[in-house]
Chain A
Amino acid sequence: MKNLRAVYIIWYRDMLRLWHDKIRLVGAIALPLLFLVVFGIGLTSKMGALGPGVNFTQFMFPGIIGMTVLMSSFMSGVSVVWDREFGFLKEVLVAPINRTSVAVGKTLGAATVAMIQGTIVLLFAPLTGVSLSPGTVLMLLPLMFLLAFSMGAFGVLLATRIKTMEAFQAVMPMLTFPMIFLSGVFFPLEGIPSWMSILTKINPATYGIITIRQIALGTTSGTTFGLNLFGHTMSLWNNVGVLATFGVVMILLAMQSFSRQE
């Protein structure tokens, strides 16, 4: 009960911060929309259909939603590094609240902000020619949340290990860009060289991105835009299982690492 309260307090702080910096919402969706417009207009006519009745813009749109959620949540999770830099983390660390609750609250805060941003991008669906039924949206939201939560926890875990701003600035681009580019946001994962294919399968983000795409484009039952792991075609639940496992491992590690840090 007391721990739940702590989770809530930490989460609530993130909501307050978002409210103070509403401009962050604009910033966070500007990049995804830019990708959609530029690549969409630039490449869609040249690429033809990527699947049955799916042009490049339609293919990319679910990926962009996943990317928005992933980046936002990961960045917010890692923002604990800034709290350390500006000293606020000390206020949290000496407080009589369970540190594992702090890690969970921070992850939930990151995931919530990411969900808000992801949902805003989702509203642009009609403009991209992706038609989403209410049922589809109801399936997409929990999935986006799972991706957001896992990435938020990953971010928090990373932040407890990174102690200096220099290390932070060196590590961040090396993690975020490969995670996004090698997750099938921008291109189908079939027919890529095997070394690249291996990297995409190691990348946990992939399992979120392709599942979001399969649901959004209604291709969950077939192999279109799917993933083949060790000769096995991953079903929707297989992918969700991999992502959920990753999320659980991350949050547990984040909780542990957060309690131990000085």
Chain B
Amino acid sequence: MSDYIIKVENLVKRFGELVAVDHINFQVARGEIFGFLGPNGAGKTTTINILCTLSKPTSGQAIVNGFDVVRQQSQVRQSIGLVFQDSSLDERLSGLQNLRFHALVYSVPASIREQRIEQVLRMMELWDKRNSTVRTYSGGMKRRLELARGLLHYPKVLFLDEPTLGLDPQTRNRLWEYILELRKHEGTTIFLTTHYMDEADNAERIAVMDYGKIVAMDTPQKLKRTVSKDIISVKTDNDDRAAEEIRRRYQIETKRDNNELTFEVASGEKFLPTFIKEFTTKILSVSLRHPSLDDVFLKLTGREIREEETSNTLKTTAHQHSHRFQH
């Protein structure tokens, strides 16, 4: 069997005029945590819907766990688990009943069923609420129940569509601990969309999607490198002299703000030790900042570009992304 558990080739999904997913290609390795980022409406959920057989692609091919998502739907469904972006609970049943339904449908063996249900409910701190009708849950509690349900059985691939939306920080942390455990012990592949960049940092690889296309795909570290280098800030007792010394020693121009000097280097960790040792101007303090995924995200999906475009009523002036519409 191939090393890739998800393979997507030239996948397209049209809704009338709109091309929601526009010829995307990617692969996800077995046991990988794969992050799918992109602004609202980029096509992330649409892609997941195709991968989980809820919606048929207009063209192109997608393979999950070795099975074609159009021709081998039931095998694909056997292989996956999902937490949807929107609610998919039966609000008229209790939390416990929702989980039991799921356990039955996914054939969780009777011998471990109740124990598993208790485990996930306790993890999401819903055990005390288990017999209440879901209708009476708060928004975050519904979300937690949804997560508990998604984690109940052990799928080969777990799709999490903005799993932590509306969750408090403690629950988010606990969820992440669990996801990492799951990956370690069960080898589960995690396919995740999120708008929290600190969360996306947990992914081994990230694809950034915009207007239905994948605009970048790499490890978080490399993506950050492509956007900018590491940023060093130093405070010295003589900024003019320091700036001059940096220019002379490293051929780097510095910027001065808030009585600090900032400049960019390729790798801050490698640079700093020698810098501190050999620099002759007195250093008062020094700090290192890595570019964040926020920087990556902003640069790649260019918020300014999109705002400009949406304010244009004439489609022809939206040259930047006119490929998205068929003429």
A-side residues, CB < 8 A to B, are: 5-6, 9, 12-13, 16-17, 20-21, 83, 86-98, 262
Contact = CB atoms under 8 A, between A and B. Distances in A.
Interface residues of B, number: 29
A6 B94 CA distance: 20
B87 A6 contact: no
Label chain A's interface by main secondary structure. helix
B104 interface: yes
Contact of B93 (A13, A92, A93): A13
B97 A6 contact: no
B102 interface: yes
Given A9-B101, A91-B102, 10 more contacts: A6-B105, A9-B104, A16-B97, A17-B92, A20-B94, A86-B90, A87-B86, A87-B89, A93-B53, A96-B107
A89 B87 CA distance: 10
B121 to A, nearest CB: 17
Contact of A96 (B90, B92, B106): B106
B118 to A, nearest CB: 19
A96 B105 contact: yes
B56 A87 contact: no
16 contacts: A9-B101, A9-B104, A12-B104, A13-B93, A16-B97, A20-B92, A20-B94, A20-B133, A86-B90, A87-B84, A87-B88, A88-B90, A91-B102, A95-B105, A96-B77, A262-B56
B105 A97 contact: yes
Contacts of B52: 94
B169 to A, nearest CB: 26
Contacts of B106: 95-96
A94 B80 contact: yes
Nearest to B104: A9
A98 B74 contact: yes
Contacts of B133: 20
B217 to A, nearest CB: 25
B78 interface: yes
B54 interface: yes
Contacts of B149: 91
Interface of B: 52-56, 74, 77-78, 80, 82, 84, 86-94, 97, 101-102, 104-107, 133, 149
Contacts of B74: 96, 98
Contacts of A13: 90, 93, 101
Given A9-B104, A95-B105, A95-B106, A90 B93 contact: no
Residue of B94, B104, B107 most packed against chain A (CB within 10 A): B104
A89 B86 CA distance: 12
A16 B88 contact: no
Closest CB pairs A-B (n = 10): A87-B88, A96-B77, A95-B105, A96-B78, A90-B88, A91-B88, A9-B104, A88-B90, A87-B87, A94-B52
Contacts of A86: 87, 90-91
Contacts of A92: 105
Given A87-B86, A90-B84, A98-B74, A21 B92 contact: yes
A56 to B, nearest CB: 39
Contacts of A88: 88-90
Nearest to B82: A94
Contacts of A90: 54, 84, 88
Given A13-B101, A96-B77, A262 B55 contact: yes
Contacts of B93: 13, 16-17, 20
Contacts of A97: 105
A94 B53 contact: yes
A262 B53 CA distance: 8
A20 B91 CA distance: 11
A32 B310 CA distance: 56
A66 to B, nearest CB: 28
Most chain A CB within 10 A, of B77, B82, B89, B105, is at B105
